Amino acid sequence: MTSKLNLVVLGKQGAGKGTQSQLLCERYGLIHISTGDILRAAVQNGTALGRQVKSILDAGQLVSDDLVNQLVEDRLSEPDAEPGAVLDGFPRNIGQAQALERILGDGGVKLCVYIDLPNELVLQRLSSRRVCQECGTTYVDTDIAAISGTCEVCGGDVVQRSDDRPEAIQQRLETFERDTFPLLSFYEQRNLLVKVNGDQSVEKVANDIDELIAGRGVA
């Protein structure tokens, strides 16, 4: 599996991980793996693991690392993952990072991209975010759709999610600092970590990431 281009994208909530991960997939022909997506897909597909995930989520509990690791491993074994993957939201902690090394083997992760954004900008971005409950289209609070409460794409209700309120954002930042921030040292020790300034346009962040990938000669 070492010839594949597997990239890990890390960053605080609101740093643009999802956007940049999608762009990386488009540019390099990779699949996008996010924890939320594979959990939802497993439940929707009704596999044995999916039924297990559903029962856990229905009970309001957290899915264990072992179960998430197995879902990621299964996804990485599918044919469309042959060129490689952009892992967004996985790993979330050292244990998951070690599991990913086991899954991919030595040299499996080619680069870890950390999109850096100060906490005050995270609070600003997320607290101003509004999301359509039907199609997931994202707006900022000054957009007409956000003000009117009606999505311009599908006509659904545009709302502020409960986890985008300041008190919830602060809790998520604390979780990131505790569980995910140590991953920076984990990948830095392996000479795989590169950092990008997230306080730039989407295009500039994407360009900076491309330059770092080219500079490392991994693609």
Q: Which residues are catalytic?
A: 17, 92, 129, 161, 172
Q: What is the C-alpha separation between 50 and 71, in angstroms, rounded?
A: 9
CA distances from 100 to 6, 7, 22, 136, 176 (A): 11, 11, 20, 29, 19
Q: What CA–CA distance (Å, rounded) separates 62 from 59? A: 9
Query: CB under 8 Å to 212, separation ≥6 — which residues?
Result: 111, 113, 194, 196
Q: Bridge-partner residues for 34, per DSSP?
A: 88
Ordered DSSP codes for 147-197: HHTB-TTT--BEE--GGGSHHHHHHHHHHIIIIITHHHHHHHHTT-EEEEE
Q: Check if the beta carbon of residue 5 is closer than 8 Å to that of residue 83.
A: yes
Pairing mode of beta strands 31-34, 85-88:
parallel
